[in-house]
Structure 1
Amino acid sequence: MRFHETIHGVYFDDLDAFHILHNARYLLLFEHAIGSFWRHLGWAGVLDFNTNPDQYHLVRANSLDYQRPVIGTGQVRVRVWVERLGRTSLTFGLRVMPLDEDIDHATGRRTVVRVDPETKRPCAWTAAFRAEIAPYCAHIETEAGK
């Protein structure tokens, strides 16, 4: 299984009063890493749902666990992969780590659901999307959901 990884700066205004990365900033790091992942797959620029209907998806849930604080300014790595690809949903796995060690500052998940642009109801990912994202998936559900 592949993953996508980015390096992000931690700046003074990202820190809380204790000079620790503020808890809300982790979700922003996740957001930036997922955005970088989509760009890596060629989803950059203006969204066009007519040529790429899989771009129309909404966030269903975020979860985050803090293991070890990021102290002070510097840089961190954020790793993203697909934990699970369902018929209509996709769950990303995420890790925030120091540059020089594979130990977690935080781990998290984000689930997105593909929706029909008109009805806003869940709909299936396209076969082309499923094939493109498959190398990044830890678990892929079949059409029957098994």
Structure 2
Amino acid sequence: MFEVKFRKKHTKNRVVVGVLSDEIINFLEKISIPINSKEIYINAKSLSHLTRQSKKDRGAGLSEDDILSIPKILKSPMAIYFDEAKEKLNLLYCAESSCKRVIKIVIDTKYIRKKEKFTLIKTAGYVEWSNMKSYKLIIGAESR
């Protein structure tokens, strides 16, 4: 989907859809969170995960337009949060959506697959702003 529509650099079943900003890299370095790559990738598994039917059935599945806007959201998010739970330690990029909910994109900066290490979009979906209150705000507007 992204390869055809965006013609981004792609390697081994993954496509670059964004980059971590210097501000985010500095934040992660200060709290000793590893960063496997400055580039943010999406792969077929992640794309399949965020478009699965169970997400759509509960109203959390992104529309095709919102999926295609992921590179734009990563470049100019409304807010970036950090999930401080020890087992997660993910970045959460947020943007407005047309469905009165927020688009949340979950990014793992320490993803390892076989011998490869890179920063990966794990999933994305629609959530209520109130769901963002449990995360640490790094950049942008507080949740409503």
Q: TM-score range by the shorter chain?
A: 0.3 to 0.5
Q: Tell me the TM-score normalized by structure 2.
A: 0.32
Q: Tell me the TM-score normalized by structure 1.
A: 0.32
Structure with bigger helix share is 2
**Based on CA coordinates, which of the two structures has the bigger radius of gyration?**
1
